[in-house]
Structure 1
Amino acid sequence: MQAMDAGRPTLLGESSPRIEDDRLLAGRGRFIADVAMPGMLDAAFVRSDVPHARLRGLDSAQARESPGVHAVFGGADLDVRAVPDRMPWVRPVRHFPLARDRVRYVGCPLAVVVAEDRYLAEDAAELVHADLEPLPTVDTVDGALSPDAPLLYPDWGDNVLLSVEADGSAVEADFAELRTISGTFTTNRHSAAPLEGRGVAAEFRDDRLTVWTSTQAAFVVRAMLAAVLGLPERNIRVITPDVGGGFGQKNEVYPEEYVVPWLAMRLRRPVRWIEDRHEHLIAAGHARDTTTDLSAAVREDGTIAALRGRVRTDLGSGEIFPAGYGPSLVAVGSLCGPYRIPKQAISVQGVVTNKTPTGGYRGYGAPEGTFALERLVDKIGRELGIDPLELRRQMILSPQDLPYETAAGAVLRSGTHRHAFERAVEVGDRMLAEEREKAEPGALLGSGYATYVEGVAATAFSITGTWSSQDSADVRFDAEGGVTVAVGVSAMGQGAHTTVATLVAEALSLPVDQVRVTMGDTDTAPYGLGSWASRSALVAGGAVERAADVLRRKGTTIAAHLLEASPDDLELVDGRFQVRGSPGSAVSWAQIAQSALNRTFELPPGVDPGLEARATYEPAGLDHVPRPDGKMNAAASYTNATHTAVVRVDATTGVVEVVRYAVVHDCGRVINPLTLAGQIHGGVAQGIGGTLYEHLPYEDGQPLATTFTEYLVPGACEVPDVLVEEVGGPAPDTPFGVKGAGEAGIIGPPAAIAGAVENALAPLGVTGIDSTPLTPSVLRRLIEEARS
């Protein structure tokens, strides 16, 4: 008994304005810095300015006497537990929110000062003296792996947090019989750098802790607070206000998120901490910093029979949750992309150094893996004299290949891999030709491509040791026929409210403006894991679809009773249950809600009052731990895309300008093209930044980019108009036919732009562009080496 909408056009695919934008653009958003409570105090953290030291003590006497200061606490003062090491397959870090005996990176929090306002707290923080006994520093992976390296965790015996050795027996024969072509590909360290930094506010009242924090996963934060502070989860409420960009960096749980709630409990006053940009660049999780050694066993026609190698990541000090090795695993899982590469044996090594801990950032390993493979494919083509695009054509998946299991275990059930590639090449050829027509003689122009698959709605178990992949939705009608839906995913600027409202309206045949969406509050939202891994549309959509099915069935039963008709004769059209062929015989959702909530005497026998449903959705077919053969299908579905970039290079200065850019993309059924385009454009902009500009270098453990003066991010002039074409249709294996698109824009730029730069510089003899960022100094050196 399921009445369906037989006549209304679908809402999916319409470019409608986002429902959250008016509030945000009018300045009515409430971000973490807007959280204010009577009697609220402000906190400032004392951070280490040395990368590695023994903490022998803290002298805070002068700070305690400063004007407006209420308290100063060091690590030994906090009666909290260590952050739990939930992953039994990695070395235990056992770190505390404030350093207790050892400092392992510049920016490590040593103490916290609480005062009447932030200015007073910062003034007093400068008066806290930390007695630090310097220890030898290691700030490179090679240095950390040397036999005489200083040890960050002496009881380990080395500096390796994670080591997964691949079984190479399956690829031995291929490498023994075929030609081997190898390369080393590096993506250097950079930051997500969201518009809004981090922040936390907390209040402890009536023996209950309420925490406001700029996070992507409120329920995960609640669980971690319970573990560290020793409170039951039921006595903790976590609220996510508006978030000015998360990008995976706010999917970590940071020391400040434990300390500020502890302060509120200890002082019995609300406390707030807001990060400044300097703190952000030295203390918020860094990203990338990965080197991939990759070899291919190559057949005579250039196609790849097998891959082997190692993904090695600089994890910084490792003092972060979830631990920063996750992107390395994703890089391994995404290496084969959409190509028929039957075998791989890739090891993973996560190494600790005296740098800020690395964690999540948009793309989460996929840009690194895609960069390595696409650059290697170009190298194979160059060494064998085969057009790299023709080489890709020989390997790329066709529709008849699906479903297809990659060498890493990813199961690709649907996609337009070959079509997206061919269309992107067509667009790229046209864009390059147009640029050449208007360019000055001798201009160095080139095009490059990157094609990949992106796992969406992944399991979190392999990086958290606790959480898997489910999410929930609570859909409730009011007596007027309006709907309130609460979901466990989170908003961070990506249009989640619009997405969820559209899916609910689609499922219940209602206008979008009759749907109200709430999220980001552990007291009012159903249990969910938040927004990361491009999961929101798929998992929230699955839960919404299941809850809506329950409501449609109940609505059909009530409508049939009111109309004295058979449920099988009803259809749902424009929010009304009507008898097929008799549109005049109909009742609306509002009438059904009246009967279910107010006029309950009108309900049919055996039907309980109320018109609400809660459902949980967990994607099928996921592997939460590797299978015995080491393979793992870690994502619910896989999008695909091909990027093409056209660049202009100034050989004198080494400056690269991305003049044209296009993305041909397949994320299943598109919910809202306007929102999707925003996601892709933003990801491409970040990808351009990481490829050409952004870098967090270190020297002797000291960070050299600690403000936006040294850390260069692209502006409007550095990001061209981005052409986005969607070539897919509804996915056959997902709710509503949707997949995900949150990270697709950032995966392709490193490989596409590097290929384009190499193509542009080919007349000068430049080859082997194998690392990012491609700063002017890097390119000038490559040009000079080629000329000499």
Structure 2
Amino acid sequence: MAPGGSSLFGVAAPRLEDDRLLAGRGRFVADLVLPGMVEAAFVRSEVPHALIRGVDSEAARSSPGVRAVFSGAEAGMSPVPDAMPWVRAVRHVPLARDRVRYAGCPLAVVVAEDRYLAEDAAELVDVDLDPLPTVDTADDALAPDAPRLYPDWDDNLLLHIAPENPEVDAAFETHRTISGSYTTNRCSAAPLEPRGVVAEYRDERLTVWTSTQAAFVVRTMLSQVLGLPEREIRVITPDVGGGFGQKNEIYPEEYVVPWLAMRLGRPVRWIEDRREHLTAAGHARDVRVDLDAAVRADGTIAALRGRVLSDLGSGEMFPAGFGPSLVAVGSLCGPYRIPHQCVRVQAAVTNKTPLGGYRGFGAPEATFAIERLVDKIAREMDLDRVELRRRMLLDPEDLPYETASGARVDSGSHRAAFDRAVEIGERMLEEERERDPGALLGVGCATYIEGVAASAFSITGSWSGQDSADVRFDADGGVTVGVGISAMGQGSRTMVATMVAEELALPLDRVRVVMGDTDTAPFGLGSWASRSAIVAGGAVARAAEALRGKGTEIAAHLLEAAPEDVELAEGAFRVRGSPGSEVPWERVAKTALTRTFELPPGMPPGLDARTSYEPPGMDHAPRPDGKMNAAANYTNSSHAAVVRVDAETGQVRVLRYAAVHDCGRVINPLTVAGQIHGGVAQGIGSAVYEHLPHAEGQPLATTFMEYLLPTAREIPPIDTEEFCSPAPETPFGVKGAGEAGIIGPPAAIAGAVERALAPLAPVDVTAVPLTPSVVRGLIEEARS
């Protein structure tokens, strides 16, 4: 607790978890060593599409140190459930049995005394594959004569949503149409720690350690695929070296390794290498947004129509990879007053690694599309791009506001944040011009809203948006709090401890946080969609309210005062107007837990509370009008990027960056700044460097030699500013900060590149990443 009983919120306190991690005392999946443990290695298809004729593992079984080899036909696991009736059933199994649909698909698994022996033996497994024609892109998948990835489907669409809106049709009959098509290419989250699983089956109970963002979801899926009751499964997430949504998927290896532990009676470990990660862990983005805008005479948009077309890869992923496309549709209007939209979704399967989640989850793709289209409208109508945005931006008096997709925006600083970002961007540009007057420099801006704490029902068919907290006092006045969210480097322990200390008027060092263990933490859905502060905060606030109430009654009894005359401050209960009388939490806890004879008559012992919380106002399915408010609240942000372009080589260098952000009430400014900086760095990677190309189904970037990640050298100075517009309906007034940093860079950088190249040629940037070859192509195309 801060000195003088002041709020802990807004204090830039060091994170509680950092000392242990920086000192090398972190414990990750790869650090786990159990007695008798063996290692697994997977045999993966080198062919993107084929029928499986047979798997010969005799040579591998006789290899030194090998304990077992299993093919898909020999592994007795149920298919992963298809829980969503609104999408086609995939019925994928953890080890392929009849057909492979992407290069990297697991076909068999080898278990040996160590990883090296397992890898050697895996190379001896002879797989007989009968190649089939490949489907290389989403456009190819839509062709009438395209090969079918799933023979019982009549096309290659996992999901197709085709809404109708007469008001949109009327707008296009009245106004001018300006169109564009915008592509965000395939990339990977690439966390520092790849995936890993350790499993042990002992005393008829399965324990699984896995690098995941959602331990309870993993437990449920293991129960359904392995046929064990959930109570007989314990899932633990050790330290997680980055998740970014990619570890919010449930992967084949997370089923196979526990099955092996049950089958062999020995602990089994599998640790992913980087090649496996780039070919078998969920890919991201790979979306094209085709948009038409009905444009009024002043350039403002009366309606949007179009299509979001995503390349899902093989579609063999849970949760399925169509979710970002739904979020993209809901994010297209951003903070603009665009009254109507009608956008269909086509999610096609192809012979690539399955698409999954990645930080931003559709919002970067939508923001790139609408911001590029707004710039195009300004260019074609000879309008100032900044002033055009100002004409459409939400004003404070517009709030609360429902967007054309159904999002209910109840607070924010949309215009103020945008104006500030533009001001910073122009200043940065002038400073760079003074520093390098002959360079091709440009500044671009982007503004958007981000839905936080979203419902999971539309992408899982099972879970909605709830979470829990378990807060209990020890007899010495210390507190242990268990929460259902997960830690993956984002400072969750510090955040939860701060909220508990704030609510109970305790010092931070009196709070211990437990998470990531289905045996010791209460039920929760994990950490994704920037949800942790809202859902954990809501549950913590309810539990703390119950504890304050009981603590007040106990203290009033001990003080011989009426409960309504007792207040809590600085770790103690006091009678108002009697400064010399107080009962600290230690005395209250000891009374509740040990000296129970001192409790008020009829009060049961104990000082603990378990509560659940689900944000109000969320839609878990579309309303009758097709609209949907799928998130608890909406963060807003505006970004500005200054770039230098080398016209000869096509190289784009991001020189300066600014993010003006509003996530409601800030709990810890250091944590928020860290989230924004990390997100911007990843967004720069997506905008300029990172790409996972394929040719005839074969991945062309399978190591960091080909998959280009930005380093500290490529990340510029990042200025961050916080506007604080507390959310009126969320606990503590918080929103979310985990994903906002990554949403703006592709749009802002694309606009900056266009401006930088304007003296040479009028280029139209419609795709990212802006690699040197892409930029050179834009210049040559414009000149020709």
Fold shared by both chains (TM-score > 0.5): yes
In structure 2, what is the Cα distance between the partners aligned to 1:394 and 1:481? 56
Say if 1:476 and 1:485, in contact at 8 Å, map to a contact too: yes
1:142 Cα deviation after fit: 1.4
In the alignment, residue 225 of structure 1 is paired with which amino acid? L
SS where residue 507 of structure 1 aligns? helix
2:747 is matched with 751
The 1:433/1:221 distance shift into structure 2, 3 A limit, reads same
SS where residue 269 of structure 2 aligns? strand
Q: Per-residue displacement from partner, 1:531-573 (whole Å, max 9, x unpaired)?
A: 0000001100000000000000000000000000111111111
Asked if residue 769 in structure 1 is aligned to residue 765 in structure 2, the reply is yes
Say if 1:408 and 1:632, in contact at 8 Å, map to a contact too: yes
**1:495 is matched with which residue: 454, 471, 491?**
491
SS where residue 5 of structure 2 aligns? coil
In structure 2, what is the Cα distance between the partners aligned to 1:484 and 1:721? 39
1:767 Cα deviation after fit: 2.1
Superposition pairs for residues 100-111 of structure 1, below 5 Å?
100-111=97-108
In structure 2, what is the Cα distance between the partners aligned to 1:347 and 1:725? 36
Asked if residue 734 in structure 1 is aligned to residue 730 in structure 2, the reply is yes
Say if 1:216 and 1:251, in contact at 8 Å, map to a contact too: yes
Say if 1:39 and 1:269, in contact at 8 Å, map to a contact too: yes
In structure 2, what is the Cα distance between the partners aligned to 1:282 and 1:371? 26
Superposition pairs for residues 92-241 of structure 1, below 5 Å?
92-241=89-238
Say if 1:312 and 1:351, in contact at 8 Å, map to a contact too: yes
1:741 Cα deviation after fit: 0.5
Q: How many residues align?
A: 784
1:321 is matched with 318
Asked if residue 448 in structure 1 is aligned to residue 444 in structure 2, the reply is yes
1:356 is matched with 353
SS where residue 764 of structure 1 aligns? coil
Asked if residue 257 in structure 1 is aligned to residue 239 in structure 2, the reply is no
Q: Per-residue displacement from partner, 1:258-304 (whole Å, max 9, x unpaired)?
A: 00000000000000000000000000000000000001000000000
Asked if residue 702 in structure 1 is aligned to residue 698 in structure 2, the reply is yes
Say if 2:633 and 2:727, in contact at 8 Å, map to a contact too: no
Superposition pairs for residues 429-468 of structure 1, below 5 Å?
429-441=426-438, 443-468=439-464
In the alignment, residue 463 of structure 1 is paired with which amino acid? I
In the alignment, residue 557 of structure 2 is paired with which amino acid? H
In the alignment, residue 137 of structure 2 is paired with which amino acid? T
Say if 2:763 and 2:779, in contact at 8 Å, map to a contact too: no
2:639 is matched with 643
In structure 2, what is the Cα distance between the partners aligned to 1:7 and 1:635? 37
Asked if residue 282 in structure 1 is aligned to residue 279 in structure 2, the reply is yes
Asked if residue 398 in structure 1 is aligned to residue 395 in structure 2, the reply is yes
1:118 Cα deviation after fit: 0.2
In structure 2, what is the Cα distance between the partners aligned to 1:532 and 1:389? 33
For structure 1, list consecutive stretches of 5 or more residues without a partner in the other structure: none
SS where residue 173 of structure 2 aligns? helix
2:19 is matched with 22
SS where residue 186 of structure 2 aligns? strand
In the alignment, residue 520 of structure 1 is paired with which amino acid? G
Say if 1:198 and 1:274, in contact at 8 Å, map to a contact too: yes
In the alignment, residue 779 of structure 2 is paired with which amino acid? I
In structure 1, what is the Cα distance between the partners aligned to 2:514 and 2:319? 26
1:343 is matched with 340
In structure 2, what is the Cα distance between the partners aligned to 1:362 and 1:50? 29
2:381 is matched with 384
In structure 1, what is the Cα distance between the partners aligned to 2:151 and 2:728? 52
1:311 is matched with 308
**1:478 is matched with which residue: 474, 479, 496?**
474
Q: Per-residue displacement from partner, 1:379-413 (whole Å, max 9, x unpaired)?
A: 00000000010000000001000000000000000
SS where residue 330 of structure 2 aligns? helix
Q: Per-residue displacement from partner, 1:341-398 (whole Å, max 9, x unpaired)?
A: 0000000010000000001000000000000000000000000000010000000001
1:732 Cα deviation after fit: 1.6
Asked if residue 302 in structure 1 is aligned to residue 299 in structure 2, the reply is yes
In structure 2, what is the Cα distance between the partners aligned to 1:6 and 1:280? 47
Say if 1:766 and 1:782, in contact at 8 Å, map to a contact too: no
Superposition pairs for residues 686-697 of structure 1, below 5 Å?
686-697=682-693
The 1:402/1:6 distance shift into structure 2, 3 A limit, reads farther
Say if 2:649 and 2:776, in contact at 8 Å, map to a contact too: yes
Say if 2:181 and 2:289, in contact at 8 Å, map to a contact too: yes
1:718 is matched with 714
Q: Per-residue displacement from partner, 1:144-179 (whole Å, max 9, x unpaired)?
A: 111111100010011000000021322111101100
SS where residue 152 of structure 2 aligns? helix
1:120 Cα deviation after fit: 0.2
SS where residue 411 of structure 2 aligns? coil
Say if 2:411 and 2:726, in contact at 8 Å, map to a contact too: no
In structure 2, what is the Cα distance between the partners aligned to 1:603 and 1:287? 57
2:243 is matched with 246
1:770 Cα deviation after fit: 0.7
Say if 1:44 and 1:121, in contact at 8 Å, map to a contact too: yes
1:766 Cα deviation after fit: 3.0
In structure 2, what is the Cα distance between the partners aligned to 1:279 and 1:429? 44
In structure 1, what is the Cα distance between the partners aligned to 2:678 and 2:2? 35
In structure 2, what is the Cα distance between the partners aligned to 1:142 and 1:567? 69
1:5 Cα deviation after fit: 12
In structure 1, what is the Cα distance between the partners aligned to 2:363 and 2:636? 12
In the alignment, residue 45 of structure 1 is paired with which amino acid? F
| TM-score between the two structures when normalised by the length of structure 1 | 0.99
In structure 1, what is the Cα distance between the partners aligned to 2:559 and 2:609? 23
Say if 2:411 and 2:725, in contact at 8 Å, map to a contact too: no
In the alignment, residue 196 of structure 1 is paired with which amino acid? E
In the alignment, residue 607 of structure 1 is paired with which amino acid? M
1:748 Cα deviation after fit: 0.2
Q: Per-residue displacement from partner, 1:496-516 (whole Å, max 9, x unpaired)?
A: 000000000001000111100
In structure 2, what is the Cα distance between the partners aligned to 1:543 and 1:128? 51
Q: Per-residue displacement from partner, 1:638-695 (whole Å, max 9, x unpaired)?
A: 0000000011111111111111100000000000000111100000000000000000
Say if 1:7 and 1:573, in contact at 8 Å, map to a contact too: no
1:620 is matched with 616
In the alignment, residue 690 of structure 2 is paired with which amino acid? E
In the alignment, residue 93 of structure 1 is paired with which amino acid? V
SS where residue 407 of structure 1 aligns? coil
Identity %, equivalent residues: 74
1:44 is matched with 41
Superposition pairs for residues 83-94 of structure 1, below 5 Å?
83-94=80-91
1:601 is matched with 597
Superposition pairs for residues 406-425 of structure 1, below 5 Å?
406-425=403-422
Q: Per-residue displacement from partner, 1:78-102 (whole Å, max 9, x unpaired)?
A: 1111000011000000000000000
Asked if residue 516 in structure 1 is aligned to residue 526 in structure 2, the reply is no
2:607 is matched with 611
In structure 2, what is the Cα distance between the partners aligned to 1:654 and 1:167? 42
Say if 1:5 and 1:572, in contact at 8 Å, map to a contact too: no
Asked if residue 331 in structure 1 is aligned to residue 299 in structure 2, the reply is no
In the alignment, residue 131 of structure 1 is paired with which amino acid? D
In structure 2, what is the Cα distance between the partners aligned to 1:168 and 1:769? 30
Cα RMSD over matched residues?
Answer: 1.0
In the alignment, residue 412 of structure 2 is paired with which amino acid? G
In the alignment, residue 221 of structure 2 is paired with which amino acid? M
1:580 Cα deviation after fit: 1.2
Asked if residue 577 in structure 1 is aligned to residue 573 in structure 2, the reply is yes
1:787 Cα deviation after fit: 2.4
SS where residue 392 of structure 1 aligns? helix
The 1:508/1:62 distance shift into structure 2, 3 A limit, reads same
**2:585 is matched with which residue: 586, 589, 592?**
589
